[in-house]
């Protein structure tokens, strides 16, 4: 199974995602702050990073850019409760694999996670 990093400024969202994906056998690391999440990516890059667009200090798009600089092979799923065509387009241009709208549907999360990881044979 895969190692997954979740970065969301609302800790309960990260805990919920960890609960859902852990049941599928994934190792999920949850962060609510950008710096420790990026430090984790530098130390041990996950197969998948799930990033909220609205964060405390940076935007999820900026974190996506940093992750891709650190390790271009990390797959990324963007989450947002405030979808715009602009952020969706920019995220995909910068290398995000998926763009999902909150509130997140459990089946959609599991399905999209599986699809992303299947690209690398990690599902």
Does residue 26 sit in helix, strand or coil? Answer: coil
Banded pLDDT at 11 (limits 50, 70, 90): very high
pLDDT tens for 73-114 read 999 999 999 889 999 999 999 999 999 999 989 999 999 999
Contact 48, 74 (CB under 8 A): yes
Contact 66, 95 (CB under 8 A): no
Neighbours of 107 (CB within 10 A): 9
pLDDT at 123: 55
pLDDT at 119: 87
Terminal CA-to-CA distance of the chain, rounded, Å? 6
What are the structure tokens assigned to 1, written together?
A: 């199974």
Domains of the chain in start order, with CATH, are: 3-118 (3.40.50.2300)
pLDDT tens for 25-55 read 999 999 999 999 999 999 999 999 999 999 9
pLDDT at 122: 59
């Amino acid at each position: 199974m895969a190692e997954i990093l979740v970065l969301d400024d609302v800790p309960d969202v990260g805990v919920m995602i960890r609960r859902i994906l852990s049941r599928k056998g994934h190792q999920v690391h949850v962060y609510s702050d950008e710096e420790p999440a990026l430090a984790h990516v530098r130390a041990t890059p996950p197969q998948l990073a799930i990033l909220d667009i609205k964060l405390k200090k940076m935007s999820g798009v900026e974190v996506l850019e940093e992750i891709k600089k650190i390790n271009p092979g990390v797959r990324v799923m963007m989450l947002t409760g405030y979808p715009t065509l602009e952020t969706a387009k920019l995220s995909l241009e910068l290398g995000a694999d998926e763009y999902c709208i909150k509130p997140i549907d459990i089946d959609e999360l599991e399905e999209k996670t599986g699809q992303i990881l299947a690209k690398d044979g990690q599902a």
